[in-house]
Structure 1
Amino acid sequence: MGERPLVVTDDDAVLDEVLRIAAAAQVEVAHAPAAVARSVWRAASLVLVDAAAVPAVAAAGLPRRPQVVAVCGPDLDPVPWDACIRLGVDSTVRIGESDEALIALLADAVTAGGGEGRVVAVLGACGGAGASVFATGLAVAADVRQRRTLLADCDGWGAGLDVVLGVEDGGAFHWQDFAAPSGRLSMHDLRHALPVLPVGNRRISLLCHDRDRTGPVGPDVLDVVLRSGRRAGDLVVADLPRHSDAVVDVAVDRADLVVLVVPADVRGCYGAARMAARLDVLGCRPVLVVRGPSPGGLGADDVERAVGLPVLARMRPQPGLARDLEQGRPPGTDRRGPLARAAGTVLDRLDGRG
């Protein structure tokens, strides 16, 4: 992970304004004068240069680097464009007019998880396909690999993953508790407010709906959660509803990988084909996880041909799954079981290993 964002200025008023904006973004920044050291200049994740100091900084012969932004005070006019070009400034923002843009830049420059996060969207081809079970198994497999994971139940009309997993009393924070989205969210604070699945290293946070306040997830709120999880370096597993709405559109658009869980039967094939056509309109080509048993003898290759999408993983029936779910035990904890192996295959693809 890079160093904190750096503010380069000799003007206390400009520094105070940037610190105010950084506080709104919940980001700590470092400060250096216009005579900034080369090592400090190189190491920062983002450099905000007071536009009035750009000529002096450009004359210092510092090495070119990405993520250099000129910050203009409200009274600076004109901007020293020639010096900005010499310094390699990517963009300019004006305090008081572009505060939201500056907050977003600061937030995006910080990756508290030590790397870029990932988003996986999981959908079922038909009712009872097992998408929620697979989404949970995927989160459990990620926990085994020491990945900090948020399992997001995005279906406002389902039974609730917290009930399925036996943690309905584990936390008081739900989707409905989000205030109006501002584009930023502290994943550290959110993780501490959410129930945690009692499995493995206890890293799996669960975001569900309040049963007393029913309704769908707001697409803007979901977008904030997915972006914030990515910035924090987390894996976000989004368990999506099958019906078409703005939530599905946002999750599919943000996802690094979309998984369609298909039962190995005729009904599953027809449902998967219809779902694939809908996702194609969104510019998405999902991968298939084919779940047995197959009452009619359909194999994964048959499903692949019928749906016209690649099969990433084949999954035999999970022994004891119904009993585990009834007793509130997270599925996929058996590392040698079919669910864990299929989830591991998906994680390998996500990490570029499969």
Structure 2
Amino acid sequence: MASSGIANTDKLVAELRTRATALGFDSFGIAPADARPDLPEKLNAALAAGWHGDMAWMEETAERRGSPNGMWPEARSVILLGINYGPESDPLAILGERSLGTISVYARNRDYHEIIKGKLKDMASLLARRSGAEVKVFVDTAPLMEKPLAEAAGLGWQGKHSVLVSREFGSWLFLGAILTSAELPADSPHQESCGTCTRCLDICPTNAFPAPFRLDARRCLAYLTVEHKGPIPLEFRAPMGNRIYGCDDCLAVCPWNKFASISREAKLRARPEFERPQLADLVQLDDDAFRSLFAGSPIKRIGQARFLRNVLIAIGNSRDDTLIPLVEARLGSEDALVRGAAVWALRKLAPERAEHLRLAYAAKESDSSVLLEWTGDI
């Protein structure tokens, strides 16, 4: 190993591992900053195929995203840390309960950025004090490809669903990274261990995987319900079912999950109100109530309009006639995204009622996308 100016790196790494455990991290590993020279080519191929959808920032930051050294040339090592957020019960169990909304497991807790960032800063501060090296902390908020780097650091491997899989914790790890100018002893990379299993690919409700280990975000419900800003494309509305934020199908069926242990850290336990939320309650949220309910949650970031879009699509899939008045109440929403989703939901639940109202609402509708919803020509 090249000299990094640190007298005893093994002792330092042992201290870092001990501190990581004390802070509640479940996984720890180190990789050289240049451990994945294959990433720029893979990233550029995905961008060229358009799999990033309308996440333009991925293309804009491609040069930095492809390599830690592209973002910070002085980086020599990357410390990857993971916290298990595995659910206490099968998150797919409520998909058949059509009056409920399904929220992805990761969003049922406090925003994971807040959970992890302070812990990473604690770790980085310790490293800087002991080594005199420079450090930078990342929690999914900068162009750093944490999952392949975590694979290089031995935390697990990227499964066929593209998510990191751990032998100990299955598909449920929040990841954070510390880049440092210190050259630290690296852990052995983890070998891909999916074998012939294709459960994650087979269960996808929208066929979002063009091939194993490849994800087309444009077809992924996790992307469509969170990142996508416009109306949900028609072909994906019925497959959404009652998923109102994210999609856990491919994670939840991973056979490695059976080895996952539940994190005992209280702040990673799901908020009860997010486990079985009633669609009837959610569709009535005004902006203030939305902000209050989802304070401290990643859901708040998508805003009320996109969230109501998702809820209304779920209501349209619910077959629950009792929700029709609540849908009609959203036909006059100020936001076209909400109005359009309300029209679709009404046409699914009560097509005759929708036709009865069509002329009155369409006559005063100024948004072309909502007009298409009324005519069914989308």
Considering only CA atoms, is the larger Rg found in Structure 1 or Structure 2? 1
Higher helix share: 2
TM-score (norm 1): 0.26
